[in-house]
Structure 1
Amino acid sequence: MPSQQYGYRNYAAVRDGIPETVLRPTVSFTVAHGTFSWSADALIDTGSPVSVFTRNVADALELSLASAMDRQKIAIAGGLHEAFKFPISLALDPLDEMSWNTFGWFLCGDMESWKLPVSALFGTEGFFDRWKVTFALRDGYFSVGPYSEQ
C-alpha cells in the first residue's frame, strides 16, 4: 500500500495576545467501537505518548467508562488527565485500506481548554507505532504510510 499525502490545514491561534494562522498536520478519521462509529479530525502529535480522544467521541461511541480495559492518569499537553482505555478500530479518510485495530484513550474531561479544533490527538501508541509519517512542511504536505516491513 502506498503512502497517502495530506495537506496541512490552517487553524486560528493566538500567540502573545496576537491572532495568527498556523498550519497543523491534521487528518479526518473514523473511529469505531462495537456497533457505533464517529468521524472527526485529529492532530498528528509527535509529542503525545498515546492517542487520545475527547469525551464527545466517547459519548458518541456510547462507551461506558466503568467497562474500560484500563484507567490511568496520562501526561499530555502539560498536565495529568484521567483517561480510559478501550479497544477501537480506526480508519483514515479517504482510504479504507488505511484502517487498523488498536487501543484508544478517552479523556474523562475535554480538550476544549487546549483550544484545538480537533476531537483527537494521534500519538505514539495507536498511531506512530503503526504508521510511518513524513513531514514536508515546505512542500505543504505530510504523508502517512506503512513501514516497509508491514
Structure 2
Amino acid sequence: MLLPKFVDPSAYYDQIINVDQRTLYKAERNPNAEVIVYRCQWDIHGRACRRWIEGDEREILTHLRNYHDVQGQTKDAMLCQWSGCAEELKHGSIPRHVMTHVKATLRCSNCRTKFPRKDRIQNHRRTVEECTNANIETVPGPEARLIRIGP
C-alpha cells in the first residue's frame, strides 16, 4: 500500500490505496518517479472494479487482461464495460478508449496544445515544424492520483 499525494489539491491527502505489485515496483524503483493511477470502473457483475490502475494504454490493457479476462484478437468486436458505457469497439481500441474515460490528455511541451490521443499528438509533432522536437507531456484526468515513494 502507498500513501499517495493527490493531483487534485481539493481532494483529501491521507487516503491509502492499493496498487498492483507491478505499479508498486515501478514507483519503488525510482523514488523520484511519479506514477499516476485511476480507479478502474470496469463493470463486474453490476459493480465497478475499483482497483487502482496506471493511466497509460499498455498498463490498462494488462489490467483488463489480468483482472477482467479481456482477451481476443485486435480486430474482434467487444463492448466497453466501463461504468456508464456500452460502446462497441475493436478489442485493440479498448485501452485507448478507456483513456477517454479517465480523461487523461497529452500536451505538446512547445505550444501547450492538448490532445486526447497519442496518435494525434504524434501527427501534430510531424506536421508543425516548431513542435517537431517537443516533448509529450501527460496531463492527468480529474480523478487521477499521484503516487510518490520519495519525499
Q: TM-score range by the shorter chain?
A: 0.3 to 0.5
| Structure with a larger share of its residues in strand | 1
Larger-Rg structure: 2
Q: Which has the higher helix share?
A: 2
TM normalised by structure 2 equals 0.36
